[in-house]
Chains A and B, each alone.
Chain A
Amino acid sequence: MKNDKPKIERREFLKNCSSKLPAFVLLASTLGARDLLAAETNGDYDPTRHDYAMGIDIHRCIGCGRCADACKKENKAPPQPHFFRTWVERYVIPVEGEAMVDSPNGGIDGFPKIDDDIDVLRSFFVPKLCNHCANPPCVQVCPVGATYTSRDGVVLVDDSYCVGCRYCIQACPYGARYLLPDTHVADKCTFCYHRITKGHLPACVEVCPTQARIFGEVGQRSSPLRRFVRFNDITVLKPALNTKPKVYYAGADGEVR
């Protein structure tokens, strides 16, 4: 049987390939550049050369909850639905009446269908986590200094030192902290400190399918976060409290708090 399909000439095939090559190179280079935030991977990590922060693009978040799920797995957070280092809130703003917010199991299992009776004006998802404030009230109140700001700008808890008084949990305006039920010490998001100091991204950023989370350093020109804060209108949560959060939101509604 004779083959009716038009033949592609070798010459044409090569020509096509060469014209697409730059695109392939670009794609390959971006794949390789996923871990571009920290150059030091050979053990000589210098915390004084970093000042980490995170950007969150509300318009990109689809509320899949993969970030919250990945976080729980990566950091071995308790499985119960009230221990979250990061979680996703859904805001439903009706045409009339108060905004409705929910976050069932932190968004890990998705969100229930919005009631058909509600005339929705707009709706969006807001990933939340520790804001790693530059002026952190949790650090201020800790009686023994077990919670502290690291030299690379991450707010951490020393679990071998924490007395479990829970003053930091009271002082956090964002509900980002909880007490570990087994070890009775305070716990919270660390920006996956064990990963970022090895040059990897935090687990939540790594798994986000829409790149709604951007991790990096505002102070470094090459950082994707620098670009994010440059090209978006940025807000932070509860700015009136002067905590100076380092989680920057793009497209966050006034209802978000």
Chain B
Amino acid sequence: METIIANIGTTGYIYPNEFELHWGLLIVIYPYLTGLVAGAFILASLERVFNVKELMPVYRLSLVTALAFLIVAPLPLLAHLGHPERSYEMFLTPHTASAMAMFGFVYAWYLMAVLLLELWLDYRRDIVRWSHEKTGLTRYFYRFATLGAADVSPQALAFDEKASRFITIIGVPSAFLLHGYVGFIFGSVKANPWWSSVLMPIVFLFSAIVSGIALMVLVYMITTMFRWKKIDMACLNKLASYLLYAMIVDFSLELLDFIQRLYESEESILILRDMIHNRLFISLIVSQIILGSVAPMVAIILGKLGRVPDEMKRMLFFIAAILVQVGIFSTRWNVVIGGQLFSKSLRGLTVYKLDLFGLEGLFMAVTLLLAPIVILYVLAKIFPPWMDRPEAEVAAMETK
């Protein structure tokens, strides 16, 4: 009887131990979240390193968003472990040959040395000001947050500026490392022909940039709307442009990977083709490629090149950004789940059975996806990231 149950949903032959899929929805969420972090940070650094002035309104917002998502990013990994209480062993006795063991260090480096430091330097002047202005307990909170550095003389601020720029310059390769490394975790598994690709870290990186920029389009538009402010069209246009460029690179790379696989036509090609036809058609062809890549690119191009009113542009960019999120989530799904739907015997396909409850269930996944938004809300209350340009300057930029 159990043999019959074991075979439900599978086609062809799978190794008996492959009946259970080992990396589920939580491991889909993990690269999705880290991608958003890396993308949002890279966007912020564009303003800082390359002086893209139009992006000023989203600079701090991007950093705070990156932090909110970075806090949640390791949680799906932790929840998925068989023994979360032993996870500290990865720090105490890491196995240096393991790509996964390095995650803790890359993460800690990125959180401590890059993101928190840059945010602190950027906010320091305001924190000092709030520590004087506010009353009661909040005053003590901000005073603590100054970490004793209450000097806001021009020299001190100039140093902040310089240090912050330096950290951003370190931060860009760090963000590349953070997400390129996540790609490497999958790309280096030679046992799995769907994952094993030298392009994997690069594709992960560009899809991270795409998802991060699209996330900032959404966060910026929604927060501005709730603050009853006018959307800075110069900023939004710039965001849309960068989103389009990143998407073109990302899409080309993925297409290259696809063509290369088809052309090389290795031993695994038959089962992978079978998998795309019978298991991943909706999530790969429909959701990732058509809805998540082609449609938003068309929407942005329409918004940029078509002579459409700002209202329409905002609508197009907003829809494009949502579709991109759907697309990138599908990308993560197709990599993580897709890589386990076919047997390593290359003779059969299996199915993924999603639980609703439990540590690795759907509700846990939804909670983990909503958590960064709650954290972002709280962070934005404590450290307001709003950097609206004066209306006159915005008007001047728009007429340019």
Contacts and interface: CB of A to CB of B under 8 A. Distances in A.
Contact of A82 (B17, B99, B190, B340): B17
Contact of A170 (B13, B20, B82, B189): B189
B19 interface: yes
A161 B89 contact: yes
A81 B16 contact: yes
Contacts of B87: 163
B345 interface: yes
B347 interface: yes
Nearest to B12: A101
Contacts of A161: 86, 89
A137 B188 CA distance: 10
A61 B34 CA distance: 50
A219 interface: no
B8 to A, nearest CB: 12
Nearest to B102: A143
A40 to B, nearest CB: 31
B344 interface: yes
A209 interface: no
Given A161-B89, A170-B192, A241-B191, A175 B20 contact: no
Nearest to B17: A178
A177 interface: yes
B101 interface: yes
Interface residues of B, number: 44
A175 B344 contact: yes
Given A162-B83, A164-B81, A179 B345 contact: no
B83 A179 contact: no
Contacts of B89: 144, 161, 163
A45 interface: no
B301 interface: no
B17 A141 contact: no
Given A163-B90, A166-B23, A175 B101 contact: no
A141 B99 contact: yes
Contact of A81 (B6, B98, B99): B6
A81 B8 CA distance: 13
Interface string B84-119: 101101100111011111010000000000000000
A162 B87 CA distance: 9
A103 B347 contact: no
Nearest to A140: B97
Contacts of A171: 189, 191
B18 interface: yes
A173 interface: yes
Interface string A144-162: 1100000000000000011
A190 interface: no
B22 A166 contact: yes
Contact of B6 (A82, A144, A172): A82
B342 to A, nearest CB: 12
Contact of A101 (B22, B98, B190, B345): B345
Contacts of B6: 80-82
A257 B83 contact: no
B106 to A, nearest CB: 12
Given A81-B3, A170-B189, A165 B100 contact: yes
Interface in B340-368: 340, 343-347
Interface string A182-213: 01110000000000000000000000000000
Contacts of B17: 82-84, 169, 175-178
29 contacts: A80-B2, A87-B15, A101-B347, A105-B2, A140-B97, A141-B100, A143-B90, A144-B89, A162-B82, A162-B83, A163-B83, A163-B84, A163-B90, A164-B82, A166-B82, A167-B98, A169-B17, A170-B191, A170-B192, A171-B191, A172-B191, A173-B344, A174-B344, A175-B16, A176-B17, A178-B17, A179-B20, A184-B82, A257-B345
Given A171-B189, A241-B190, 5 more contacts: A164-B86, A165-B81, A173-B190, A179-B20, A241-B191
What 7 A-B pairs are tightest by C-beta distance, nearest first? A164-B82, A175-B15, A184-B82, A82-B19, A173-B191, A143-B101, A145-B95
Interface of A: 80-84, 87, 89, 100-106, 109, 128, 137, 140-145, 161-167, 169-179, 183-185, 241, 257
